[in-house]
Amino acid sequence: MATLGTIIMALGAIGGLIFWIQILIVAFKKHIGWGLGSLFIPLVGLVFVFMNWNETKTPFLRALICFAVQIVGMAISGFSM
């Protein structure tokens, strides 16, 4: 079961990375400052998401779902040890 949990956790992490890259693309299209800030400064990405909710709603919500999948994978891995 630990292997299954690790696979689920990895899939959630890969999905979250993909959706966060989509948010970064939107940030760089808006302005290079937003893109660099989102990339290097903590919480700037979240500020950008909420200020530009219409453009970033879908990738942000999908990233949250991937985060939940990661948590489930960690729980499966942890409970099987």
* pLDDT 10s digits, 22-72: 999 999 999 999 999 999 998 999 999 999 999 999 999 999 999 999 999
3-state secondary structure of 73: helix
Residue 80 has pLDDT above 90, yes or no: no
> Model-level pTM?
0.87
Task: Say what the pLDDT of residue 81 is.
Answer: 60
Residue 9, domain extent? 2-79
Q: What is the mean pLDDT of residues 12-31?
A: 97
Task: Say what the pLDDT of residue 79 is.
Answer: 75
Number of domains the chain contains: 1
CA pair distance 52, 6, nearest whole angstrom: 34
68 contact partners, CB below 8 Å, separation of at least 6: 12
